[in-house]
Amino acid sequence: MFCPECGAEYREGILECSDCQTALVPEIPSEPEPKPKLELVTVLATGDPGRIAVAKSLLEDSRIEYLTKDEGFHDLFPVSRFRIQIQVRPEDREEAGELLADLREE
């Protein structure tokens, strides 16, 4: 019997790991497949909350998935120099770039 949390091995008859308080399993679980690294490209970088809100709305309306980078820092320091980056998959770069062209800062 094995603990699925810490991998400790126990003799038959023991039902719970003494360290983790987790139910034991007959075999050690296999390691999950590593997830492939997601590559993203930045299509907009700004510190203006209004531009970010409009950009998110445009991307959502076009069903383009995106992530924002450094948005939490901007919430903590709204008058700082932090710039939020909106990132998309490389295959969405052109369409997203066209949608957000008017929002880019000089």
99 C-beta neighbours (distance < 10 Å), count: 20
- Same domain for 77 and 97, yes or no, is yes
Domain that holds residue 1: 1-31
- Same domain for 20 and 50, yes or no, is no
- Same domain for 45 and 95, yes or no, is yes
Compute CA 18 distance to the chain's CA centroid, rounded to the nearest angstrom.
Answer: 34
Q: Starting at the edge strand that comes first in sequence, how are the strands of the sheet with 67-69 ordered?
A: 41-46, 84-88, 67-69
Q: Is residue 36 a part of any domain in this protein?
A: no
Helix (H) or strand (E) run with residue 93 in it:
helix 93-100
Q: Is residue 52 a part of any domain in this protein?
A: yes
Kindly report, residue by residue over 52-84, the tens digit of the pLDDT.
Answer: 999 999 999 999 999 998 776 655 555 556 788
- Same domain for 98 and 51, yes or no, is yes
Average pLDDT over the chain, rounded to whole? 86
Please give the model's pTM, rounded to 2 decimal places: 0.59
Kindly report, residue by residue over 10-55, the tens digit of the pLDDT.
Answer: 988 999 999 989 899 988 767 777 778 889 999 999 888 889 999 9
Q: In CATH, what number is assigned to the domain containing residue 74?
A: 3.30.70.790
Q: Is residue 69 a part of any domain in this protein?
A: yes
